[in-house]
Each structure stands twice: as C-alpha cells, then as structure tokens.
Amino acid sequence: MKSEPPSSGPSAFEVVSRFVAAMAAQDLDTMESLHAADYVVDWVYGDAFENPPTSAEESAGFFPAWFIGFSEMDYELKRTIAADGVVVTEWIFTGTHTGPLGPPVFEEHLEPTGRTIQFRGVTVYDVSEGLIQRETIYMDLATLLVELGASV
C-alpha cells in the first residue's frame, strides 16, 4: 500500500469551508485572515473587457460594505466541488437590505430599502499556500438589482 505524502497545510476545500462559515457569520477578521495579500474579486456580470478584477484594496472593502447593507443575511451552499487549488460553490443569498450600499458594492449610493431579497450564484475560489488568491463570482446581478428596486 502506497502512503500519501504528509499535508503541508489545509486543503483548498478546508480553506474555503472556513471562509464560507466566516462569511455566513459576518466574521470579517477570519475572512481577511484567509485572503492572500494580493487577493482580488473578479465579478463576472458584464463585458470581460470592461469589468476586470477589482484591485486588492477594492476587494478588501467589498465584504465590510456588503455586511453594512445586509446585516441580516443567509448564505446557503447548494453544492461544492473541490480539487487541488480550486473550489467551486453554488449558493443562494438571502438578505434584508437594512443599511446603505455604495462603493465598492455599487458605484451609486443606494439607501436601505428594507426589502428582503434572494438571488443565486457560483463562486470559483483559487487557493494557494492555504490562502484564497482570487474569487471569481458569477451572480444573478439583474435579479439583485430588480429586487432592490434599483434603476439601471
């Protein structure tokens, strides 16, 4: 029987599992501890040439701003697929828009609507050396905007 080499750290699945649990709990400290120094978010909802990945600085500001806008939320994983260095999650977000949303979530400031919204998406996590390097997020932005009552 061939033995497996010892693991040098957590698997990509373990890293993403910790990150998703922290996100559901709105635990920014744990989330940030799992991001690489040059972590970026790549939003896939528009033209690939006009919507490049956000900078590390903009990416770091996204979740704090999101949690202000949605202090009451549920992030439900429907399916997870994991391999070495990459994890894909399919999810449903449900939240009540209780706080303002502005940059870097939206370019224009959106006052709280009090609406409870739900939309779904898929996130691809690139993981290396026990840290998330990049999140590529495919989400139903049209449903999000319509449910918030935002004009486009």
10-to-13, 55, 62, 74 alpha-carbon distances in Å? 8, 26, 25, 26
112-to-18, 29, 85, 109 alpha-carbon distances in Å? 29, 25, 38, 10
In tens, the pLDDT along 7-57 reads 578 999 999 999 999 999 999 999 999 999 989 888 886 555 566 667 777
Strand pairing category for 116-128 and 131-139? antiparallel
Q: Output the pLDDT for position 50.
A: 62
54, 60 contact by CB (below 8 A): no
pTM of the model: 0.86
